[in-house]
Amino acid sequence: MRSRCLPGRCGIARLSGAMADGSEDPAVFSSSSLPADPRLLATVTNAYLGTRVYRDTLHVSGVYSGAAGDTHRADVPSPANVHMAMPGAGGLDETFALDTRTGTFSHELRATDFVATQQIYAHYSLVHLMVVSITIRRSAHATRPITIQLQTPFEPKSQDLDLKQGPDFQGAHYVYGRTLVPEVRGGPCPAVHMLWTPVPGALTLRGEERERRWQFLTAVAGSEEGAKGSYRRGLACAAAGSLHRRHARAWAALWRGCSVELAGPLRLRRALRGSLFYLLSSITPHPVLPPHGISPGGVANGARGEDYWGHVFWDQETWIFPNILLFYPKAARAMLEYRIHTLEGALHNAREQGYEGAKFPWESAATGREVCPEEIYGAQEIHISGDVLLAFEQYYHTTQDQKLFREEGGWRLVCAVAQYWCSRMVWSEEEQCYHIRDVMPPDEHHCHVDNSAYTNAVAQRSLTFAADLARDLMFPVPEQWLRRARSIKVPFDAGKKYHPEYDGYSLGEPVKQADVVLLGFPLMHPMSPAVRRNDLEVYEPVTEPHGPAMTWSMFTVGWLELKEVQRAQALLNKCFSHITEPFKIWVENSDGSGAVNFLTGMGGFLQAILFGYTGFRITRSSLRFDPALPDDIHELNVTGVSYLGNKLRFSITREAMGIEVTESPRDPPALPLEAVLAGSGQRLPLHKGQRISLPTAAGCIRRPSPGTS
């Protein structure tokens, strides 16, 4: 990702343990005070809208303003920025908490005779709603009136929207408007319609009342009808006393289908829980909204001047997508649909640069055209197109969903990317192989290089997948795909037995972030264990120590592959310098600079657990496993793993592991599965509700071979 340090932010130190969460519950992050840096406040989001708590703006997925490189998430004024206070009251205990079980932020004021609790949440099932709820409850002996002050700086104005005031609706105020500047000339300016419950300056629990709750709703949609319908449904739920309960039920269902629990250090368990929570906050298991992609800072961030403007990068496919795919393939599918919907922009990008096919933008917003404000990244960091296709490949092998490719644009996209790679390659008479020249690899410290190992390897993988998919769909396979996949150069030093990052790379040159190590995972580029080890040994000491947060996760996966579990864990521990207290918000760089709520770093960290500790690998014919647990991890349980329509549970210790199919839908029918041990070849049928036990060793889950009962 391009380097973009915000004014006054570069060099800010990560918050230390001084504000560390004192709770033993790994699912609740609490503190008696808020972080001094407002960027590190908790975010409350769903797949459609989100905000940082106590921030005066919120954002809506897919709503951008600004042309080309200036396009950014449009700031929508937030009525949910409500502070609860009791000025002049002494002896108050104050707690701020983020409950990841229910996706709810709370602020509690506690005195001897009352408790006042504020909740803020982006409703997970009614996704157009943001809710602020305040409850005052008195002690049994108290009778005096209790008044809580509410402070809100809300003004219905925006620098990005032409907002107009409409008539009130069922007690709510109403504004509507469109973004001011389209992404491309003549393009659409998205509409925003917002209704909100007015917030008074104070709330009073009268002397005769024991408890009372006030609920303030904000409804946001792309149409007046949508906003009013959402507000009306919210009011009905509030009147029935079910508004928060319905939200909490949706989160409970989400966690039931997606559980990662380990017996190990509390710090690791909290980091795992927080990372998974923030990623899940960005998706819905059963998408109904048009897909708009996931940006590095999530929908809560991305205004002009922050968090890469809310643009979508390779971060979505390479770092976030595999974790979502493992549990919720429909949500992962929506991420792919975003790329299908922006394919016309990718075709435009390729034509503009003089190539055929589709060149996905380094930074994408609403149209798929390049919106990176710095030209060199869009022109040279072309591995993004291969990263996109790798996600399509992983999805296809996990689901066998041919409909996406036959009927819904997936095959056209695959063909267009393959065509792009073919047009981007040139034949070298001297080396008798294809080259890709003048690129920037993932290591953005270098540009204008030839034959980036990662870029060429991912291009090769794109072409191989395109050919394999064509055969599965019974389409003809263009010979040029096969020829170029066979004959592309992936730099390799046969004497030193490692992969140089690009032509002319000198040993010891500093590297920004994970690059060549990605050949081993996620690309699974063929190499011996000795070469894999050499790549790790060569690049670990020269990789920028305070660089992007996802880097050390990939080194961790590599060392786990080689069963160097303690070395792997030492590298994973470097990730903790990117996690801030008390709400487990990640920063892109360990000095505090870069994006915040950095989902990319969280995604890499989760992959170290979900693909490192387990050894999961998605291949054309199976889901492989090869567990490796560090000394301080005694057990790992992963529930909700999706494969070929089934849901599985894995329980792993150092000595033994159990595998169980927990769900096997009949409509459409899930494919039957078996477990196969790599060493002995033993085949164990998997049936719903029947747990099998086997030694902790390498193996795979696959469709049964003919003759297996």
Catalytic residue IDs: 444
Element of type H or E holding 135: strand 129-138
For residue 23, the model assigns a pLDDT of 62
Mean pLDDT per 10-residue run, the chain (709 residues)? Answer: 41 38 82 96 96 97 96 98 88 95 97 95 97 95 91 95 98 98 96 98 94 98 98 98 97 95 96 98 85 96 94 98 97 97 98 98 98 96 98 98 98 98 98 98 97 98 98 97 98 98 97 97 98 98 93 98 96 96 96 94 98 98 97 96 97 97 89 94 95 96 75
pLDDT in the model for residue 707: 55
What pLDDT score does 141 carry? 82
Helices 599-607, 551-561: crossing angle, 10 deg rounding = 10
**Alpha-carbon gap, residue 106 to 121, rounded angstroms:** 9
Please tell me the distance from the alpha carbon of residue 172 to that of residue 151, in angstroms, as a whole number: 19
> Do the Cβ atoms of 380 and 448 come closer than 8 Å?
yes
Alpha-carbon torsion 617, 618, 624, 625, what sign? positive
* pLDDT score at 11: 34
Full 3-state SS string of 230-244? HHHHHHHHHHCCCHH
DSSP conformation class of 128: T
Residue 330 parent element (H or E): helix 329-341
Q: What is the dihedral of CA 154, 157, 163, 168, to 10 degrees?
A: 30
User: 3-class secondary structure for 654-703?
Assistant: CCEEEEEEEECCECCECCCEEEEECCCCCEEEECECCCEEEECCCEEEEC
Query: What span, in angstroms and rounded, lies between the C-alpha atoms of 657 and 54?
Result: 45
Q: Helix, strand, coil shares of the chain as percentages rounded to 5?
A: 30, 25, 45
Q: Are 643 and 658 in contact (CB under 8 A)?
A: no
Q: Name residues whose C-beta falls within 8 Å of residue 595's C-beta, 6 or more positions apart in sequence.
A: 296, 297, 301, 306, 307, 308, 587, 588
**Model pTM?**
0.95
pLDDT of amino acid 655: 95
Q: With contact defined as beta carbons under 8 Å apart, do 129 and 123 qualify?
A: yes
Question: Could you give the CA distance from residue 427 to residue 434 in angstroms, rounded to a whole number?
Answer: 4
